[in-house]
Amino acid sequence: MTGAVRTLPVSRVGRRTDWRRVRDRVATLWRRSLRFRTIVIAVSLTAATILVTCVAMALVIQNELFTARKDQVLLEAQRATAAAQATLDAAVDSTDPAAAQTLMNGIATRLSQQSSSDLIALYRIGPPSPLAPQPFISPSFDSRIVTDALRTQVQSNPDLQWWQSVALPSDTGREVPGILVGHQLRFPAQDGVDYYELYMGYDLTSAAQTLAFVQVLLWVVGLVLVVLIGAIAWVVLRSVTTPIADAAETSAKLAAGDLGVRLPVRGEDELATLNRSFNAMADSIEAQIKELADLSLVQQRFVSDVSHELRTPLTTIRLAADMINDQRSEFDPTTARAAELLHAQVQRFELLLTDLLEISRYDAGSVQLEWEPTSMAHLAEDVIASMEQLAHQHGSDVRLVAPGGYTPIDMDGRRVRRIVRNLLGNAIEHGEGRPIVVTVDSDRDAVALSVRDFGLGMRPEDVERVFDRFWRADPSRVRTIGGTGLGLSIALGDARLHGGSLSVWSELGHGSNFLLTLPRDGRPLGGSPLPLVPDDEQGGALEALGLTQPISLGRQGRASS
């Protein structure tokens, strides 16, 4: 059974992608631009302040307008009612219903003239009477606006004035705000007095229009203020942040090695003082760096010159030592031992001289790589085979685990082979006769090789210095293979020449793990196909290798190279 696949329209997907791009750009500006962040905060706070102020002023103005209009309406209605009641009190009682109705109509006309309301209604209180005037309701008055609560108050309190906010119908069919005012009127009658409810409606449209105009004016003024404050903040911030941006750009150039960059100095304010101080600091740094560069150049030339000058006498000494060593069987035991020591030390001195020449090439930046397609797995097999006898002498079993790394990649095979030989020799010497695991793996971006031993390991402070030149974690420890103290430093240089990395993990009693990672096809180096912290720290590989307990700490540490 196949399910239907729902796809979004292209236009909707495009809009969503555009929105995400805009959001990402805004987020990037927020993180990287001090000017943008400050302006957004200033405008936001200003807008919030103006919003609260405008809302508060609108509410106050609305309340004041309503109160003023209400007081005016109540006063006007009270005067009109008093005038109508005075007219009724002066009228002569009559038993003629027509005359009474004429009086009612005259009172309504008088009320309309005395007030500004055209919405007038008069309702008789009590049962209908043929002698009493009929209720009067103006044509535009809607009886539904008179609520039962208001009628009850008007009927029960003849001497008080009552009012209520209502919605009045308009000529356009829409409802407009208004006030309905209620009174009682006393009509003279043959048998006494008839009481009528008087209701007058007042339109508040003019007050609503005034309030709408004031609110629009407030919002326009608030918006203009926000724009003006944003523009002012932009101008002020630009005058401050532009020198800061120039200083940041100049600092980046200085950090990148352009020692000749300087900041322009204008005026005598704080920014000018900052620029002068920066320029003075740059001058000092440039002078010190040039001094150190000259000193380093002298040191490099000295090491290179001494190394080259020593090669000729060293060759002569080595030939003489070889001849003496070949004839040591004819010497007495003491002289024969001296010949052996002389031969071994001359070989070590020649190796040291070779390493010093290599280091001088690194320092001078004159190293050239010879690229060729090479399989890391096959290279590791060759190095392990060449050092098999040395591992057997130290009682170590070297094991290769290569799930990947067979595809050739461009590298300088001679230098990478030297890295692997150095790492493996280091592990053999300090592996305490325990198994050594060489792992090779790769992915689409890189190829990696790790050398794991289960020897003494190193302390954290020793791990930080393991690639330093001529540094040893335990100077009292005797070298059994030889070495000059420059092996790991040269290995690190070779790895960096390939655009790769060489890192180390080590713990006392748990051994060490050196990880070499080289990029594939010149790609930028990201992660590594192999972990730096070995998987056997979870315990699985230790049992597979026959190691159930960490090695006991009988010594301080291990040598670094």
pLDDT tens for each residue of 491-550: 888 888 888 999 999 988 889 999 999 998 777 787 899 999 887 654 444 444 444 333
With a cut of 90, say whether residue 203 has pLDDT above it: no
With a CB cutoff of 8 Å and minimum separation 6, the contacts of 416 are 374, 376, 379, 494, 498, 516, 518
With a cut of 80, say whether residue 323 has pLDDT above it: yes
Most confident residue range from 18-32, 74-88, 107-121, 360-374: 74-88
- DSSP per position, 305-333: HHHHHHHHHHHHHHHHHHHHHHTGGGS-H
With a CB cutoff of 8 Å and minimum separation 6, the contacts of 279 are 262, 263, 265
pLDDT digits (tens, 9 = 90+) for 54-73: 888 888 888 888 888 888 88
Architecture of the 271-361 domain: Orthogonal Bundle (1.10)
Q: How far is CA 500 from the centre of its chain?
A: 29
In terms of Cβ atoms closer than 10 Å to its own Cβ (0-12, 13-18, 19+), residue 125 is middle
DSSP 8-state class, residue 397:
-
Task: Give the mean pLDDT of 335-350.
Answer: 80
With a cut of 50, say whether residue 207 has pLDDT above it: yes
pLDDT digits (tens, 9 = 90+) for 216-232: 888 888 888 888 888 88
Cβ proximity of 500 and 517 under 8 Å:
yes
- pLDDT interval class at 14 (50, 70, 90): low
DSSP 8-state class, residue 400:
E
With a cut of 50, say whether residue 558 has pLDDT above it: no
Q: Residue 429 half-sphere exposure, CB side, CA atoms within 13 Å?
A: 18
Give me the CATH topology for the region 369-544: Heat Shock Protein 90 (3.30.565)
pLDDT of residue 299: 66
With a CB cutoff of 8 Å and minimum separation 6, the contacts of 98 are none
Give me the CATH topology for the region 92-205: Beta-Lactamase (3.30.450)
With a cut of 90, say whether residue 133 has pLDDT above it: no
pLDDT of residue 543: 46
Mean per-residue pLDDT of the chain: 79
pLDDT of residue 542: 44
- pLDDT interval class at 385 (50, 70, 90): very high
The residue with greater pLDDT, 524 or 15, is 524
The residue with greater pLDDT, 311 or 209, is 209
- DSSP per position, 158-182: TT--EEEEEEEE-TTS-EEEEEEEE
With a cut of 70, say whether residue 191 has pLDDT above it: no
With a cut of 70, say whether residue 2 has pLDDT above it: no
With a cut of 60, say whether residue 483 has pLDDT above it: no
Which residues face 168 on adjacent strands? 176
Most confident residue range from 20-29, 335-344, 367-376, 441-450: 441-450
Distance CA 539, CA 533 (A): 12
The residue with greater pLDDT, 411 or 547, is 411
pLDDT of residue 442: 92
pLDDT digits (tens, 9 = 90+) for 274-314: 888 888 888 888 888 888 777 777 766 776 676 667 777 87
pLDDT of residue 547: 46
Domain boundaries, the chain: 92-205, 271-361, 369-544
The residue with greater pLDDT, 404 or 9, is 404
Phi-psi group of 498: left, alpha or beta (phi > 0 → left; psi -120 to 50 → alpha; rest → beta): alpha
How far CA 19 is from CA of 7, 13, 16, 368, 400, in Å, comes to: 19, 10, 5, 50, 53
How far CA 85 is from CA of 103, 134, 181, 194, 448, in Å, comes to: 12, 17, 16, 12, 109
% of the chain beyond a pLDDT of 70? 82
- pLDDT interval class at 561 (50, 70, 90): very low
Cβ proximity of 462 and 420 under 8 Å:
no
pLDDT of residue 100: 74
